[in-house]
Amino acid sequence: MASTSAPALDELSGARKTAILFVLLGEDVASRLLQHLSKREVARIAKEIAELGTIDPQLAEAVLQDYYLTALKSPAERGGADLARKLLAQAEIPVSLMDQLLGPELRPGEEALGPLLETKPELLARALQEEHPQTAALVLLHLPVERAGEVLAAMPEDAQSETILRMATLKTVRGEVLGEVASSLHERLDAAGSDREETDGMERTASLLLKLARADMKRLLDALEPDHPEEVEQLRSRIFTFDSLILVDDVGMQSLLRQVDTQKLARALKDASAELSERFLGNLSERAASMLREEMEFLTQVAPNEQEAVRKEIIDLAIKLEAEGTLSFSAG
């Protein structure tokens, strides 16, 4: 293998310097250090080590000296993504811009996914098709919602329905299960940090479905409903909240209002946001809007269970009108 030239230390990436350091420290020490790194970091360092040739002695000495000086620094003097985010936050930089600069901040469990976070959705979808649906559900639950939605959309329709159901009903994730997933996906996943991690699969699945096109979301729910009505009902209750009605188009809102009693609507809108209330009031005639306002002012309070029942009735009616083509939700 050809000898590696000796570039200046500041010309090397962090991964390349780490790779050189690990080679100099030897297999035993390097293997122990690797256990403390994420799967993504291990993959990057391994790639750099594979590309290393003979290390120039002067470069080796510079890397070791740089490591020694860095190790002497207190944690407060060291850089890193966490420090970068803190500094950007103090400068009032939006989180969206931080993510563009530094990459998205990972949730607990996402770091274990390593290279999967950088795999093209189509390739990952193809790999998951060959796995058990429970495995696919486990992976998608631990991917960022945006990426999980892209992967799900790239899977065949029959696999989508089964995977969604598994995601919605997955309650806990055991460390050994994640270990098996890591093995089945060529060790691209790592075991979870704790032996048992509680997962709100239903909530996470609802968030993922909201990222899909509305027609695709409806198709998946309709396909699951005959055999799994309870799970679909729980998903719908998280997807179609009363606040969702702010997205209803004007024609649909007027159709909805024609079928809802004023007293029920007043109870549903009690303590609702001003924006949502105005969305309803704005689609009523001046006289009907005045009557609704009076009814809302007359109500001193509404029992939570009573309001929940009335709101659900209105939401169900909106879903029914959407299915009939009378009402539509705007994107949001």
pLDDT of residue 191: 33
SS3 category, 181: helix
CA–CA dist 118, 27 (Å, integer): 28
Contacts of 174 (CB under 8 A, 6+ apart): 195, 196
Joined tokens for residue 206: 């609802």
Contacts of 30 (CB under 8 A, 6+ apart): 22, 23
Q: Where are the alpha helices (DSSP H) in the chain?
A: 14-25, 27-34, 39-51, 57-72, 81-90, 95-102, 121-129, 133-142, 145-154, 157-169, 175-184, 201-211, 214-224, 229-239, 250-258, 262-269, 274-281, 286-298, 304-324
Other Cβ atoms less than 10 A from the Cβ of 72: the count is 8
Asked if 190 contacts 38 with a C-beta cutoff of 8 angstroms, the reply is yes
- Residue by residue, DSSP assigns 144-178 as -HHHHHHHHHHS-HHHHHHHHHHHHH--EEEHHHH
For residues 161-182, one letter each, b for 16 or more C-beta atoms within 10 angstroms of the residue's C-beta and e for the rest, the string is bbbbbbbbbbeebeeebbeebb
CA–CA dist 152, 209 (Å, integer): 9
pLDDT in tens, the chain (332 residues): 444 455 677 777 777 888 888 888 788 777 777 777 766 677 778 888 888 878 888 888 888 777 766 655 544 444 555 555 665 566 566 666 555 555 555 444 444 555 566 677 887 788 787 777 877 887 787 777 788 888 888 888 888 888 888 888 776 555 445 445 544 554 443 333 333 344 557 777 887 787 777 778 888 888 888 888 888 888 888 888 888 899 899 999 999 999 999 899 999 998 888 899 999 999 999 999 999 998 888 887 888 888 999 999 999 899 889 888 898 887 54
Q: Which of 231, 211, 225 is nearest to 147 (CA)?
A: 211
- From residue 164, alpha-carbon distances to 153, 171, 209, 301 in Å are 11, 13, 9, 39
Q: Which residue type sits at 322?
A: E
